């Protein structure tokens, strides 16, 4: 009531004032969300970057350019562990370095996935059986070798995963943190 009386008094004195008052009010509806968006923009884009949302699918045997290197999956070998229902997967892959700066810029992650969306992380230390069956792969560097990337070099890497025998539709996902949200999916 009080405000209305004041507004009426205002408009009687200055006719343009009332219009400007309501215009300012209406502008708030746009300005407030815009202010929130602007102040949280960096957090939002950081959040988007931290999610791997853009898969680059690589068919079997193919090579793909990603995060400053040419990537290829060279082998996915099944090894029996002796325990029922369980097998080891030794994934061997390589990166031919084009842009070492880009590749060194941040760690990389390797995950084995299946068609049910389950995700296996690599073993910290390859099992003893891998040392017996595929000794060459045990001494191959892990994904962290990319920190020492040099132009023109080809880095061959290997990771071991423990998975159930009945897992189907396996694929190896490789993410260079600096290249997110894009990540590689090697179909097998």
The reply on whether position 51 binds other proteins by CB under 8 A is no
Residues binding other proteins: number (CB under 8 A): 15
Q: Which of 96, 167 has the CB closer to other proteins? A: 167
Question: How many angstroms separate the CA atoms of 89 and 109, rounded?
Answer: 16
Choose one: 49-57, 63-71, 119-127, 180-188; the region binding other proteins (CB under 8 A): 119-127
Question: How many angstroms separate the CA atoms of 87 and 103, rounded?
Answer: 32
The reply on whether position 119 binds other proteins by CB under 8 A is yes
- Which residue of 17, 59, 86, 115 would you call a contact of other proteins, by CB under 8 A? 86
Task: Answer whether the bond into residue 181 is a cis peptide, omega within 30°.
Answer: yes
What are the DSSP calls for 162-187, one per residue? EEETT--S-EEEEEEGGGTTEEEEEE
CA 46, distance to chain mean position in Å, is 12
- Of the CA atoms within 13 Å of residue 9, those in its CB half-sphere come to 6
The reply on whether position 120 binds other proteins by CB under 8 A is yes
The reply on whether position 127 binds other proteins by CB under 8 A is no
Choose one: 30-38, 42-50, 82-90, 151-159; the region binding other proteins (CB under 8 A): 82-90
- Which residue of 15, 16, 84, 152 would you call a contact of other proteins, by CB under 8 A? 84
- Which residue of 129, 133, 147, 167 would you call a contact of other proteins, by CB under 8 A? 167
Q: 123: left (phi > 0), else alpha (psi -120 to 50), else beta?
A: beta
Cβ at position 163, least distance to other proteins in Å? 7
The reply on whether position 117 binds other proteins by CB under 8 A is yes
Residues 6+ apart with CB under 8 A from 107: 143, 144, 147, 177
Residues that bind other proteins (CB under 8 A): 83-86, 117-121, 123, 162-164, 166-167
């Amino acid at each position: 009531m009080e405000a209305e009386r004041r507004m009426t008094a205002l408009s009687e004195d200055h006719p343009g004032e009332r219009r400007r008052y309501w215009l300012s009010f209406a502008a708030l509806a746009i300005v407030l969300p815009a202010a929130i968006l602007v102040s949280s923009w960096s957090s939002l884009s950081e959040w988007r970057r931290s999610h791997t949302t853009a898969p680059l699918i690589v068919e079997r045997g193919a090579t793909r350019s990603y995060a400053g290197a040419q990537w290829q999956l060279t082998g996915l070998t099944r090894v029996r562990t002796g325990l029922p229902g369980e097998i080891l997967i030794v994934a061997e892959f390589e990166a031919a370095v084009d842009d070492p700066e880009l590749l060194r810029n941040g760690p990389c992650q390797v995950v084995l996935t299946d068609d049910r969306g389950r995700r296996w992380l690599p073993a910290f230390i390859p099992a003893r059986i891998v040392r017996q069956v595929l000794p060459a792969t045990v001494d191959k560097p892990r994904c962290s070798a990319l920190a020492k990337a040099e132009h023109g070099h080809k880095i061959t890497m290997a990771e071991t995963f423990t998975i159930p025998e009945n897992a189907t539709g396996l694929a190896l996902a490789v993410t260079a943190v600096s290249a997110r949200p894009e990540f590689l999916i090697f179909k097998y």
